[in-house]
Every structure is written in C-alpha cells, then in structure tokens.
Amino acid sequence: MLYKPGWDLPGGMAEANEAPDRAVLRELEEELGLAVVLRGLLVVDWVAPHGPWDDQVAFIFDGGVIDDEAATALRPRDAELSEARFTPGDAAAAMLRPRLARRFAAAVVALASGRPVYLRNGEDFSNSA
C-alpha cells in the first residue's frame, strides 16, 4: 500500500512542539540524508480539511542549492519514499497534484521576488479575500 499516491515536495509533518523550520531540516535528513541551511521562508499555505486530515498549515522554505556531488548521491532513506528526482520546474509542477503545483509555483515566484507568499488551499490569498 502506498503512503501517498503520486509525487510530493520534500518535507513532512512537524512533531509535537516542533517548529516548522526544524521539522523540514529533520525530515530532509531522515528522508533523503540531506543537510541544508535554510535561507528563508517562501510560502505559507493554509489547507482546509480534506480526506482524513484536519486543516493544516504548510510551509515551503528556501533550502538553497546543493552541489552536483550531493545531488548525485541523493537517495530515499525512508520507506515512505520510492524515488527522489530533480526535474525542471515546469515538468515538476506537472507531476504534482493541483494544490501542490500551485504551492510550488508560488514558491518559485517568492524566490524570484524575495517576498514570502501566503496561500489559502494553494490559492493566492489576495484573490480569495
């Protein structure tokens, strides 16, 4: 049985009393053996209840750029993952579920502009007020 069908962005759920920035560092280490330095916040996305999940707040942080050696060595280290892949932005967005694709696109905009983005359900907050 699959943990989650389809592709996802790197990361995971925070543990009790764990700050989101610490959670992403822990999850990247556990899932991919990857240690990064966070350079800032890109996206905050409030997600309405869906399926068995209550509402949640999702974050995307800027983890910088990893070198070719680290990228080549990247392998899933957790049973939750079956594959890790670097993919050009447009192709990556096409592989994600629509809400995640919108979150990913917002992160690309935030990275370029230097300003974090707030979303509701993957939609730009300024368009849903």
Task: Classify residue 24 by burial, with Cβ atoms within 10 Å: 0-12, 13-18, 19+.
Answer: buried
Beta strands (DSSP E) in 1-129 are 40-47, 56-62, 117-120, 123-124
pTM score of the predicted model: 0.86
Give per-residue burial for 90-106: e unless 16+ CB within 10 Å, then b: eebbeebeebbbbbbbb
Q: What is the pLDDT of residues 25-79, one digit of tens each?
A: 999 999 888 899 999 999 999 999 988 889 999 999 999 998 888 888 888 887 7
